[in-house]
């Protein structure tokens, strides 16, 4: 399978792609939008993008891109996020004065860095793969980087400190996106983007009540600006069940009377 995902090599997206299908041909892309476009154009059979992190929440770029695309989610992959402090050669953890880190990786290890490296210079990078590349090319013994295990292996670096993430339960939910449709399995999730047509008091209560009235469990809700006037929002909702299930189909039909509704995907759930 040709699979588009975020690059360069050594990212958590790369790790998740290998867990999904170690034999896939991975097409590394610079941005989530690039992953979407490669898949839309048929240059990749599917794309793998991060949707939500258990610590930092939803990935806005993915939510926005899926709302504007005809691609849908066909599968979710829950991938543990284990951060490590890496160095060059036979480096010494206590000698590190400069640390390369993608902003999200930094935020996930901030307490550790404040405790053990309060004076270190933190240099933001565009990706974990870029952090690994810059560290390797520097050759410096006093420089470190926050990296996944895969990046340490691929760039032939040394792990100085293991599992430095502040939250041991840190995971990212990746989603596989394509033009394919999935059938109900009895243990499914449906992801929705809802843009209300008319604002009024109790609007959100009314929309959620339509789901509750059909006995549908809500597992996630968040809002993002609709990129129009100030105060306009799109609600992103995950519900348990599949659009082929009669209660879900009926509830969505009710919601369409009140709001623009887009099904981002109905797929087997992992939790």
117 DSSP 8-state letter:
-
CATH of the domain spanning 2-81+170-178, picked from 2.40.50.140, 3.40.190.10, 3.40.50.720, 3.40.50.150? 3.40.190.10
How many CA atoms, within 13 angstroms, populate the side-chain half-sphere of residue 124?
4
Q: How many CB atoms lie within 10 A of CB 10?
A: 26
Looking at residue 91, what is its pLDDT? 67
Q: Coil, strand, or helix at residue 12?
A: helix
Predicted TM-score of the model (pTM): 0.91
Q: Do domains 2-81+170-178 and 188-268 have the same CATH topology?
A: no
Backbone angles phi, psi at 29, to 5 degrees: -125, 155
pLDDT in tens, 171-192: 999 999 999 889 999 999 999 9
pLDDT above 70 coverage of the chain, percent: 99
Return the structure tokens found at 158: 């040394």
Q: Is residue 202's pLDDT more than 90? A: no
135-141: Cβ within 8 A, 24+ apart = 135/86, 135/87, 135/88, 135/100, 136/88, 138/88, 139/88, 140/88, 140/98, 141/87, 141/88, 141/89, 141/91, 141/92, 141/95
Task: Give the pLDDT of residue 66.
Answer: 96
Alpha-carbon distance of 30 to 36, in angstroms, equals 11
Reduced to 3 states (helix: H, G, I; strand: E, B; else coil), residue 238 is strand
Architecture per CATH, domain 188-268, reads as 2-Layer Sandwich (3.30)
Q: What would the pLDDT profile of 6-20 be if each residue is shown by its tens digit?
A: 999 999 999 999 999
Which tens digits make up the pLDDT trace of 133-144?
Answer: 999 999 999 999
- Is the pLDDT assigned to residue 21 strictly greater than 80? yes
84-161 placed in CATH 2.30.31.70: no
| In the chain, where the domains are located | 2-81+170-178, 84-161, 188-268
Helices (H), the chain: 12-20, 32-40, 60-68, 103-108, 110-116, 128-138, 149-154, 203-212, 246-255
Residue with tokens 């390797």: 136
Q: What mean pLDDT do residues 85-91 have?
A: 85
């Amino acid at each position: 399978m040709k699979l588009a995902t975020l690059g360069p090599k050594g990212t958590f997206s790369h790790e998740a792609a290998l867990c999904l299908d170690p034999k896939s041909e991975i097409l590394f892309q610079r941005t989530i939008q690039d992953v979407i476009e490669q898949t839309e154009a048929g240059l990749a059979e599917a794309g793998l993008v991060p949707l939500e992190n258990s610590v930092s929440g939803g990935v806005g770029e993915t939510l926005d891109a899926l709302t504007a695309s005809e691609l849908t989610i066909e599968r979710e992959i829950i991938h543990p996020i284990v951060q490590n402090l890496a160095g060059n050669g036979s480096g010494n953890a206590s000698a590190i004065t400069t640390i390369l880190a993608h902003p999200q990786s930094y935020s996930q290890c901030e307490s550790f860095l404040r405790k053990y490296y309060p004076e270190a210079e933190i240099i933001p990078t565009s990706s974990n793969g870029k952090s690994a590349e810059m560290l390797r090319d520097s050759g410096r013994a006093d420089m470190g980087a926050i990296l996944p295990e895969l990046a340490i292996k691929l760039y032939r670096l040394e792990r100085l400190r293991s599992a430095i993430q502040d939250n041991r339960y840190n995971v990212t939910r990746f989603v596989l996106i394509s033009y394919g449709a999935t059938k109900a399995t009895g243990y499914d999730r449906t992801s929705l983007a809802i843009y209300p047509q008319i604002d009024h008091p109790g609007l959100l209560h009314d929309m959620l009540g339509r789901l509750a009235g059909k006995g549908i469990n809500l597992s996630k809700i968040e809002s993002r600006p609709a990129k129009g006037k100030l105060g306009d929002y799109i609600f992103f909702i995950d519900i348990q069940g599949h659009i082929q299930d009669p209660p879900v189909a009926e509830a969505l039909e009710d919601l369409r009377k009140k709001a623009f509704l887009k099904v981002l995907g109905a797929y087997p759930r992992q939790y």
